[in-house]
């Protein structure tokens, strides 16, 4: 459990059972998984940046350690969640277009 390579392998392990494919070209499934993981990590970065900005505004000083213990208040949490919703909406624009076109 202390070997970093082994740990990373365990973190990324697949579950037992056949992984379903939804597209004729299975590479599309793979590509989607990668794109969506990138989307998640961008959201993670955005949230971190948001924290930095809020802390800077609050304290007018940069304190790296404080990022780990930052806990958004109810209104900040709501704003951040709303950003996630808008962000997801932006990424899934093609699906919105599909829905509009099918109507």
Ranges within 4-63 binding other proteins (CB under 8 A) = 7, 10-17, 19-20, 22-23, 28-29, 32-33, 36-37, 39-40, 43-44, 47-48, 51
Q: What is the DSSP letter of 19?
A: P
Residue 85 CA to chain centroid, in angstroms? 11
One character per residue 74-103, x = contact with other proteins (rule: CB under 8 A): x--xx-xxx-xxx-xx--x--xx-xx--xx
Written as six digits, the tokens of 77 are: 């949490």
CB of 100 to other proteins, least distance (A): 10
Written as six digits, the tokens of 54 are: 């809020």
Residue 16 Ramachandran class (φ > 0 left, ψ -120 to 50 alpha, else beta): beta
Distance from C-alpha of 88 to C-alpha of 43, rounded to nearest angstrom: 9
List of residues contacting other proteins (CB under 8 A): 1, 7, 10-17, 19-20, 22-23, 28-29, 32-33, 36-37, 39-40, 43-44, 47-48, 51, 67-68, 70-72, 74, 77-78, 80-82, 84-86, 88-89, 92, 95-96, 98-99, 102-103
């Amino acid at each position: 459990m202390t070997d970093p390579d082994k740990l990373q392998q365990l973190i990324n392990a697949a579950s037992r059972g056949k992984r379903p494919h939804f597209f004729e070209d299975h590479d599309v499934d793979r590509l989607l998984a990668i794109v969506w993981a990138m989307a998640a990590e961008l959201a993670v970065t955005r949230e971190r940046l948001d924290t930095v900005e809020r802390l800077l505004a609050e304290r007018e000083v940069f304190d790296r350690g404080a990022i780990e213990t930052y806990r958004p208040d109810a209104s900040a949490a709501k704003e951040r969640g709303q950003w996630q919703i808008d962000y997801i909406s932006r990424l899934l624009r093609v699906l919105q277009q599909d829905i509009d076109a099918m109507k």
